[in-house]
Amino acid sequence: MTRLALLAIAGLLSFCVAPSFAAVTDGKTKYSDIAVWGAGNQFDIVLKVGKIPSGEITDPLQDVKDLSTCTNLDYRKGEYSEDACNAPPIKDNSADVIQVVASLADSSPSAALQCQVQGDEFSEDNRTPTKSSTPNKIEARMCYSKVAYDERPWRKKNKPYPSLSLNCPWLVEKVDIDSKNADGQWVMTKFFDDFDEVPSATYFIMVHALTDVDGDSTVCAFSSTEEKAYLMTEVDMGRTPGVIAAATVFSIFSIVFLVVYTAADTIWYNKTGKGLTFGVA
């Protein structure tokens, strides 16, 4: 048995005996904990898709579709139709842009973002002790919807932190807490082509408030667009920008090599009466 085969078997065995992604790690904060602590659903979220033909992320969004007004249940199930919110799936290589606009649901002048983290006595058996913290970042993420994680347990929500990326791996943008615009909004924008290998699926948006705890960035508040607003993606997974660039380079190289080799072979044949060969005595 070759060394490569042994390594493959060892890798397969380690995967089979590894803990399930669906398992909850003892003592870790979950979305449900944060909700019980009163730090859930503090944001109003507007989800938009559009285009920026110039390629400059700071330019205004064009052909804007506000998915926050979507009420078509087929769209939520990942079944696009012409009546589904008038917003077809976003695609790669098309200048499509995702924009998330978050603001505090409580618009009163005295409103403040509640940021709660584990207290000193927090444990698996005693999950209520908490303490207030100061948020320093706001981030928006794309999260797999139910239709996207059915039969894929590693994508399900309510994961223990810091494993939230199992269900919400796609970061739209992370901004400073003080970056609100004049309307009191955090605006997070990203070109769809800038994501790394996003599969075709239906997603909702999760907005997190982050704080630092013992040097680690920790989620201390959240809201989502689940059951409110979704977006769909349609991606040709094999045609990433890197693959396209590599195919282009090799195509050009093969043509140049063929031309050069043909010319060299002709010159060599006219000179020696033999065809051009490499590595042959």
Q: Within this chain, do residues 201 and 251 fall inside the same structural domain, yes or no? A: no
Q: Within this chain, do residues 179 and 49 fall inside the same structural domain, yes or no? A: yes
Is residue 63 over pLDDT 80?
A: yes
* pLDDT for residue 73: 55
Q: Within this chain, do residues 94 and 227 fall inside the same structural domain, yes or no? A: yes
In a domain, 178, yes or no: yes
Q: Within this chain, do residues 244 and 155 fall inside the same structural domain, yes or no? A: no
* pLDDT for residue 28: 80
How do 216-224 and 62-66 pair as beta strands? unpaired
Q: Within this chain, do residues 39 and 97 fall inside the same structural domain, yes or no? A: yes
- Which of these, 90, 44, 45, 43, lies nearest to 65 by C-alpha position? 90
* pLDDT for residue 149: 82
Least confident of 51-60, 159-168, 215-224, 234-243: 234-243
For the chain, the domain total comes to 2
Q: Within this chain, do residues 250 and 157 fall inside the same structural domain, yes or no? A: no
* pLDDT for residue 11: 41
In a domain, 1, yes or no: no
Contact 195, 170 (CB under 8 A): yes
Q: Within this chain, do residues 148 and 56 fall inside the same structural domain, yes or no? A: yes
In a domain, 258, yes or no: yes
Which strand (E) or helix (H) includes residue 3?
A: helix 3-17
Contact 65, 86 (CB under 8 A): yes
Q: Within this chain, do residues 261 and 192 fall inside the same structural domain, yes or no? A: no
Q: Within this chain, do residues 212 and 261 fall inside the same structural domain, yes or no? A: no
* pLDDT for residue 17: 33
Q: pLDDT class for 132, splitting at 50, 70, 90? A: very high
In a domain, 165, yes or no: yes
Residue, of 251 and 220, whose pLDDT is higher: 220
pLDDT tens for 230-243 read 888 888 755 556 66
Q: Within this chain, do residues 191 and 172 fall inside the same structural domain, yes or no? A: yes
- Mean pLDDT over residues 49-61, rounded? 88
Is residue 137 over pLDDT 50?
A: yes
- Mean pLDDT over residues 238-249, rounded? 68
Least confident of 76-85, 114-123, 174-183, 191-200: 76-85
In a domain, 5, yes or no: no
In a domain, 4, yes or no: no
pLDDT tens for 174-199 read 999 999 999 999 999 999 988 877 88
Q: Within this chain, do residues 209 and 251 fall inside the same structural domain, yes or no? A: no
- Mean pLDDT over residues 129-135, rounded? 92
In a domain, 3, yes or no: no
Is residue 24 over pLDDT 50?
A: no
In a domain, 7, yes or no: no
Q: Is 95 left (phi over 0), alpha (psi -120 to 50) or beta?
A: left
Q: Within this chain, do residues 121 and 179 fall inside the same structural domain, yes or no? A: yes
- Which of these, 72, 97, 94, 96, lies nearest to 85 by C-alpha position? 72
Q: Which domain holds residue 263?
A: 240-275
